[in-house]
Amino acid sequence: MTTSSIAVTGLIAGGAVLGALLGLVAYVTLLERKFAARMQSRIGPYRVGPHGLLQPIADGVKLLLKEDIIPTDADKRIFTLAPLVFVVPCLMIFATIPFAPGLGVADLNIGVLFFMAVSSMEIVGLFMAGWSSNNKYALISAMRAVNQIISYDLPFIMAALVPVLLTGSLKLSEIAHAQEGLWFIFYPVLGQLGFIAFIVASVAAENRVPFDILEAESELVAGFRVEYSGMKFAIIQLGEYAHVLGTSFLGSLLFLGAWAGPGPWWLGPGWFLLKALLIFLLITWVRWSFIRIRVDQILQISWKLLLPLTVLLVMATAVTVVMRSGTGE
């Protein structure tokens, strides 16, 4: 293949994934709203289209048409740039995810590493938004963001290392293939603990309740995005949901056997999506059940509990892998 044809295929694949992703993100918001409504004995969106099915489109149009307000004292260039800096990493994490054997934009041999590296870059956009808004709520939120995301990316990486060690590869498609016999979540003890740690750390890294101290609307109104309106706000929302969805896909790939499932091979992507949505609903369930905890408590949970435990877990996994290969050879 020539360089140019690789570039063209990459562009087409990237465009296709991006398009599908944007649609999925829009409808995931509807899923969450419906799910939350049922939890709270409500009906949820019901007016736009049958059972509110057109609600995400109406929301999108509304946000597009809204006035875009930039505060007078804001740092205009950074304020405008921040949503982009935030959303690009959130969308880029999908690049390495193989949706079926051979069906992905770029199946890198450092897939997991790429995912972690890119997803933690969103913090730059967050901080830019909080700082440039020139608003005290946004500033405090941005400070909290840096604190929290750095604290939770470490246990997140550690938890994701468990399947990596079990497979012996950072390549996402290989991790998926390695689970064809046994999904890693069913791997005795290590798999379950790893999955729990992964979910807790990802809820925190995604800034969702009970770890949503960045948004914390009862204290900081809307946190770092308090001054954003219209499409800039929509882009930030899009990035957040894309991040949650991307992490759900990663979780289903690392622990739930990705596209493995009964039925013919072409059902694979369907199973993958279903598992990812299950993880998404699990995170949503947590979100709509718990109350928020305080900043110092969040940091304590991370540094004093989650990080040591996940490090121990990674070490235990490493020992297991060595012993297993030792007996094999």
State the residues that interact with other proteins by CB under 8 A: 36, 39-42, 136-137, 139-140, 143-144, 208-210, 212-213, 215-221, 287-297
What are phi and psi for residue 187, nearest 5 degrees? -65, 125
Residue type, 294: R
> Rounded CA gap, 155 and 90, in Å?
19
* Smallest gap from residue 293 Cβ to other proteins (A): 5
* Smallest gap from residue 321 Cβ to other proteins (A): 33
* Smallest gap from residue 206 Cβ to other proteins (A): 13
Instruction: Judge contact between 285 and 248, C-beta under 8 A.
Output: no
* Smallest gap from residue 253 Cβ to other proteins (A): 27
> Rounded CA gap, 159 and 236, in Å?
27
* Smallest gap from residue 59 Cβ to other proteins (A): 15
Instruction: Judge contact between 69 and 229, C-beta under 8 A.
Output: yes
> Rounded CA gap, 175 and 98, in Å?
11
Give the list of residues 6+ apart from residue 289 with CB closer than 8 angstroms, or none: 39
Among residues 59 and 100, whose Cβ is nearest to other proteins?
59
Instruction: Judge contact between 56 and 64, C-beta under 8 A.
Output: no
Q: What is the DSSP letter of 291?
A: P
Among residues 305 and 323, whose Cβ is nearest to other proteins?
305
Among residues 108 and 196, whose Cβ is nearest to other proteins?
196
* Smallest gap from residue 243 Cβ to other proteins (A): 16
Among residues 153 and 215, whose Cβ is nearest to other proteins?
215
Max Cα–Cα distance, the chain, nearest Å: 69
What are phi and psi for residue 100, nearest 5 degrees? -160, 165
Among residues 135 and 169, whose Cβ is nearest to other proteins?
135
* Smallest gap from residue 104 Cβ to other proteins (A): 32
Helix (H, G, I), strand (E, B) or coil at 103: strand
Among residues 177 and 243, whose Cβ is nearest to other proteins?
243
Using CA atoms, how far residue 317 sits from 13, 181, 187, 202, 311, in Å, is 35, 18, 11, 20, 10
The residue whose two tokens read 């091979």 is 265
Among residues 137 and 184, whose Cβ is nearest to other proteins?
137
Return the bridge partners of 100, or none.
103
* Smallest gap from residue 296 Cβ to other proteins (A): 7
Give the list of residues 6+ apart from residue 54 with CB closer than 8 angstroms, or none: 48
Among residues 85 and 138, whose Cβ is nearest to other proteins?
138
